Amino acid sequence: MSNAELGHEQEFVDVLYAHLADLRARTEAAVTSALGREHDGTRQARVERDIVVFEQSGLLAALDAGANGLCFGRLLFRDGADHHIGRIGIRRDDAEHTPLVIDWRADVARPFYLATGHTPMGLRRRRHITTSGRRVTGLHDEILDLTDATRTGFEGSDADAVLLASLDAARTGRMHDIVQTIQAEQDRIIRAPHGGVLVVEGGPGTGKTVVALHRAAYLLYANREQLTRRVVLVVGPNPAFLGYIEDVLPSLGETGVQFATPGELFPGVTATAVDTPEAAEVKGRAAMAEVLGRFVADRQTVPETPLFIEHDDGDLYLDAAIAEAARSKARATPLPHNLARPAFASRVIDGLTEQLVDRLGADPFGGPNFLGSGEIAQLSMSVAESPAVQAAIDELWPRLTPQELIADYLAEPVYLSDEDAAAIRRPIGYDPVFGTRAAVEWTVADVPLLDEAAELLGEDDSLARALAAAERRRRIAYAQGVLDLSYGSRTQEFEDRDDEESEVLSAHDLVDAERLAERQEELDHRTSAERAAADRTWAYGHIVVDEAQELSAMAWRLLMRRSPTRSMTLVGDPAQTSEPGACGSWERILVPFVEGRWERVRLGVNYRTPTEIMEVAAEVVRAVDPGFGPPDSVRSTGVKPWSRHTADLPAAVAWAVAHEGVAPEGVAHDAVTPGAGPGDAGGADARIPVAGRVAVIAPRELIDTLATAIPHAERGVEPDLTRPLVLLDPKQAKGLEFDVVIVAEPAAFALADLYVALTRATQRLGVVHTRDLPPGLTGLVQAG
Ligand SMILES: Nc1ncnc2c1ncn2[C@@H]1O[C@H](COP(=O)(O)OP(=O)(O)OP(=O)(O)O)[C@@H](O)[C@H]1O
């Protein structure tokens, strides 16, 4: 093994970090000085400041992101080309600004992920560089050209060594990027074209989530202008999951991404209540769209007996004929309820004015009405301005908010069977003092109903839109000035744009005046992602949906509205579906929206769960579905899952936790000898992690009881997953992973939930139970 070779790479990495530090210092200085600079308040001065801040802030974020594990690979081509591959791209200071390290997303980096002995893609040698901080700790070379006789001593026959080392590492409670070890099947998905709907399917641990996140990073790189402006939205099942994955994109230099759970997709509403499974199922049905449409139509009424309206020019009667004619006119417009209201109102006003005209201008001798057009117009105005007339119109065609409509509907659900109506009925609460409506506690399944209501009702925002358009014109004019000046004052760092592989972008390359105008708004106020989050009608550039199999038909309607271009990556595993309202198959989800215009790809290798655990999880499913085929695990640990029967579940959970090496509060984790897990007796060459994370996964109804036995366990709606021990219900555990998992009382789990729980462990699995074990778990090693 050549220490010189390691030394060369260390020298290169040193140069790289020195360059990064220099770039960073210059960038930071530029931002600080621009922000701190006194300016005279003139447009010119503001423009100059904004140019610097705009150009440099994005670069700073990318530089910070790249600082950790900046360089991880090297490609040596047969033709002599030699490229280092990194998390971000950086160029030299030479005259040509040649690349120092290539962004992993650039085309030239692709052989790092795809080349094989059979298809070397021009490569002679591929090198994995392992670093710890800034120190090069290891090299792993693969020779792809058998005529290459050079030997460094780092050539390895096991091409998966780097991957296995990464998979065996103790978990941290946060998902990490995998740029160093993306597998070929994953790379093809990550770089699949931007347009259309791509469904990524695969069993537990096949990398669906991590691949979807890298795909988002790749798409942002390849379509930067479009996607940073339109924003990428990542939808995940719950807040804990979003916390678990939220570091991945920033670690790849991408910060302008919005994360949301399905309960957060209606701005202004936070889902705090929980539906029963039956209620969630009813609310999620596609038929609810039509039901709500009918409910809105029911609010457009005709009086059974004429409404009497006192008026200065004479009493008015708003009868069924006038209301009927007005309703037909309003419904004939293509507008939603609130926007069609003016059409209704104007026809009612015409009808009532006619009443007055007939009465006041009637010729007693049967001749033509003697009121002139001016007088009629006057009468019409006085009718329109009458508060009593307005109140009558409101009664027949009320202005409605989505919240009011859905609260009313849930208070008295119609167009459903009695059973379904009973499942979702929720009386309106009233403030005991003021008698006003109490605030509604919304559920996740209410959110798509609110969105549907917003579509049916429409919002009269014409004034707001006109103001926004005027403001936008002003900003574009201003931004044009920014760009003109920016071109004149560009720095060396940003000039280097002659080739297609450039990774560092400048204002001229990224933006036109319109785009910069939007950027200015961001600088002044919020980021694009923040603006998107606050705007129900935002059209996202790309949407990634994780655990997509869980969403209801109504939730899909909402998401499709947010993606008019239908650029989406949907990630899921139908075998892990347990939501009663879930849509079921991809066909059912997608045919109504993108029939024939979607593609499905499958990932088939489990990178998380070792063979020993996966076999057990598969047996559980096979007990009901004998043909079930789980993904193949990429590694095994030699440690068999164990079970323990007990009469005292909390005590058994506490015992299991102690045996898995999680110290109670106040005792340092290191003070407990880890690894002596109850199942180790059977393990021959067990590879045990030194430290890591343990999860106890238990049915929701047992969580409180178990918490008393393991008070040091982290739990709650949004548990901190970086803590050594967490207590979760199976829904919360979706998408997560831990070194060790203890499943409590598996007989109380739904089958899909149990499958999810059993497949969360990267190292060891134990089961504690008082009831009989479900089929598939009965053969586990008995512990204790
Ligand atoms: N190429 C890879 N290199 C290193 N680690 C990988 C690779 N692919 C996947 N992994 C790791 O495997 C684990 C499982 O990945 P991920 O959570 O994305 O799987 P999933 O298919 O979404 O699982 P589930 O459906 O069970 O939630 C993660 O720790 C991930 O980092």
DSSP classification of residue 552: B
The pLDDT value recorded for residue 544 is 97
Whether pLDDT at 690 is above 70: no
- Whether 574 and 631 map to the same domain: the answer is no
Whether 483 has a pLDDT exceeding 70, the answer reads no
Distance 751 CA to ligand 1 centre (A): 22
Please indicate whether residue 75 or residue 672 has the higher confidence score (pLDDT): 75
204 annotated to a ligand binding site: yes
Flag whether 448 is in a domain: no
The top-scoring range by mean pLDDT among 69-73, 166-170, 296-300 is: 296-300
537 annotated ligand-binding residue? no
The residue nearest atom 8 of ligand 1, judged by CA position, is 207
Closest approach atom of ligand 1 to CA 167: 5
Give the range of the structural domain holding residue 516, as residue numbers without chain letter. 460-482+509-526
* Ligand 1 midpoint to CA 204 (Å): 8
Ligand 1, closest atom to CA 211?
18
Shared domain check, 749 and 659: yes
Residue nearest to atom 30 of ligand 1 (CA): 207
- pLDDT classification of 490: cutoffs 50, 70, 90: very low
Ligand 1 centroid – CA 550 distance (Å): 19
- Do residues 312 and 321 touch, judged by C-beta distance below 8 A? no
Separation of CA 564 and ligand 1 centre (Å): 30
Q: What is the pLDDT of residue 465?
A: 59
Residue 1 maps to a domain: yes
CA angle 338, 339, 344 (to 5 degrees): 85
What pLDDT sits at residue 667?
40
Q: What is the CATH number of the domain that holds 651?
A: 3.40.50.300
Residue 554 belongs to some domain of the structure: yes
pLDDT value at residue 319: 95
Is the same domain home to 268 and 309? no
Pocket probe for ligand 1: among 162, 163, 166, 178, the residue whose CB has the most ligand atoms within 8 Å is 178
Check whether 49 has a pLDDT greater than 50. yes
Using CA atoms, how far apart are residues 500 and 502, in angstroms rounded to an integer?
A: 6
Q: How many CA atoms lie within 13 A of 658 on its CB side?
A: 11
User: CA-CA distance, 675 to 659, in Å (whole number)?
Assistant: 8
Of 104, 133, 157, the one marking the end of a domain is 157
**Residue showing tokens 């594990």:** 69
The answer to whether the annotation marks 209 as part of a ligand binding site is yes
pLDDT at 676 over 60: no
355 or 674: which carries more pLDDT confidence?
355
Alpha-carbon torsion 508, 512, 515, 521, what sign? positive
Number of domains in the chain: 5
One domain for residues 708 and 772: yes
Q: Are residues 435 and 468 in the same domain?
A: no
Q: Residue 442 pairs with which residues in a beta bridge?
A: 271
Mean pLDDT to the nearest integer, 52-75: 75
pLDDT, greater one: 671 or 529: 529
Give the contacts of 328 (CB within 8 A, at least 6 positions apart): none
What average pLDDT does range 353-360 have in this prediction? 92
Among left, alpha and beta (phi > 0; psi -120 to 50; other), residue 570 is beta
How confident is the model at residue 197, as a pLDDT? 94
Residue 680: is its pLDDT beyond 90? no
Beta strand 542-545 with 232-235 is parallel
Whether residues 267 and 326 fall in one domain = no
Q: Is the pLDDT of residue 80 over 70?
A: yes
Percent of the chain with pLDDT over 70: 82
The predicted-structure confidence for 126-139, as pLDDT tens digits, reads as follows: 999 998 888 999 89
pLDDT of residue 576: 76
Residue nearest atom 27 of ligand 1, based on CA coordinates = 735
Q: Give the pLDDT band (50/70/90) at residue 671.
A: very low
464 vs 400, 468, 474, 562, 663, CA distance in Å? Answer: 18, 6, 16, 21, 58
Does residue 539 sit within a domain? yes
* Ligand 1 site-directed mutation target among 114, 199, 213, 607, most atoms within 8 Å of CB: 607
**Amino acid sitting at position 469:** A
Rounded to whole angstroms, the maximal C-alpha distance in the chain is 119
Q: What is the pLDDT of residue 367?
A: 86
Residue 699, pLDDT > 90, answer yes
Q: What are phi and psi of 164, to 5 degrees?
A: -65, -40
Which atom of ligand 1 is nearest to 607's Cα? 12
**Counts for the chain of helices (H) and strands (E), in that order:** 29, 22
Q: What are 605-645's pLDDT values in tens digits?
A: 999 999 999 999 999 999 888 888 889 999 999 999 999 99
125 and 93 share one domain: yes
Distance 209 CA to ligand 1 centre (A): 7
For the chain, the 3-state helix, strand and coil shares in percent, each to the nearest 5, are 45, 15, 40
> What pLDDT is recorded for position 515?
61
Higher pLDDT, 166 or 484: 166
pLDDT surpassing 60 at residue 674:
no
Kindly give the number of the ligand 1 atom that is closest to the alpha carbon of 760.
26
Q: Compute the distance from residue 172 Cα to the ligand 1 centre, in Å.
A: 14
Domain presence at residue 500: no
Choose among 213, 252, 56: nearest CA to 546: 213
Mean pLDDT over the full length of the chain: 85
Cβ atoms 443, 424 nearer than 8 A: no
Q: How many CB atoms lie within 10 A of CB 298?
A: 11
List, chain by chain if needed, residues with CB within 6 Å of any ligand 1 atom.
163, 166-167, 175, 178, 181-183, 186, 202, 204-210, 573, 576, 607-608, 735, 737, 759
| pLDDT the model gives residue 56 | 67
The CA–CA distances, whole Å, from 395 to 303, 380, 412, 750 equal 9, 20, 19, 48
Residues 427 and 352 in one domain: yes
Per the rule left: phi > 0, alpha: psi between -120 and 50, beta: everything else, 270 is beta
**Domain end call among 526, 556, 579:** 526
Q: What is the ipTM of this complex?
A: 0.99
pLDDT above 90 covers what percent of the chain?
56
How far away, in angstroms, is 140 Cα from ligand 1 center?
Answer: 22
| Structure confidence at residue 506 (pLDDT) | 41
Q: Do 411 and 469 belong to one domain?
A: no
Q: Atom 16, ligand 1: which residue's CA is nearest?
A: 207
pLDDT of residue 495: 32
Pocket test for ligand 1, best of 215, 248, 608 (most atoms within 8 A of CB): 608
For the CA of 603, the nearest atom of ligand 1: 21
Residue of 445 and 143 predicted with greater confidence? 445
597 backbone dihedrals φ, ψ, rounded to 5°: -120, 45
Q: How confident is the model at residue 69 (pLDDT cuts 50, 70, 90)?
A: confident
Judgement on whether residues 538 and 519 belong to the same structural domain of the protein: no
- Binned at pLDDT 50, 70 and 90, residue 566 comes out as very high
pLDDT band at residue 83 using 50, 70 and 90 as cut-offs: very high
Give me the pLDDT at residue 691, please.
55
- Predicted confidence at residue 163, as pLDDT, reads 85
Position 498 scores a pLDDT of 38
Rounded to 10 degrees, the C-alpha dihedral 578/582/588/589 comes to -120
Q: Would you say residue 712 lies in a domain?
A: yes
Most confident segment among 23-27, 155-159, 398-402: 398-402
pTM: 0.83
Q: What confidence tens digit (pLDDT) does each residue in 716-750 have? A: 988 999 999 999 999 899 999 999 999 999 999 99
What per-residue confidence (pLDDT) applies to 686? 38
Shortest-distance atom of ligand 1 to CA 180: 3
In the reported structure, the alpha carbon of residue 607 is separated from the centroid of ligand 1 by a whole-number distance in angstroms of: 6
- How much distance in Å is there from the Cα of 608 to the middle of ligand 1? 6
Return the residue whose CA atom lies nearest to atom 9 of ligand 1: 207
For ligand 1, atom 24, name the residue with the nearest CA.
204
**197 and 594 Cβ atoms separated by less than 8 Å:** yes
- The ligand 1 atom at the shortest distance from the C-alpha of residue 210 is 18
**14 or 493: whose pLDDT is higher?**
14
State the Cα–Cα distance between residues 191 and 105, nearest whole angstrom: 8
Q: Judge whether 202 is annotated as a binding position.
A: yes
C-alpha gyration radius of the chain: 32
Whole-number pLDDT of residue 494:
31
For residue 112, tell me if it sits in a domain: yes
208 in a labelled binding site? yes
Ligand 1 centre to CA of 211 (Å) is 8
Same domain for 773 and 645: yes
Contact by Cβ (8 Å): 52, 34: yes
- Residue 225 is predicted with a pLDDT of 83
Within this chain, do residues 347 and 408 fall inside the same structural domain, yes or no?
yes
pLDDT digits (tens, 9 = 90+) for 448-472: 999 999 999 997 555 555 666 776 7
The tens digit of pLDDT for each residue in 507-525 reads: 444 456 666 665 555 454 4
| Per-residue pLDDT, 663 | 47
Indicate which atom in ligand 1 lies nearest the CA of residue 576. Answer: 25
Tell me the average pLDDT across 196-201.
94
Written as six digits, the tokens of 415 are: 């167009």
Residue 207 Cα, ligand 1 centroid: separation in angstroms?
A: 3
Q: Any binding-site annotation on 196?
A: no
Specify the residue for token string 């770089």. 191
The pLDDT of residue 517 is 62
Does residue 47 or residue 31 have the better pLDDT? 31
For residue 424, tell me if it sits in a domain: yes
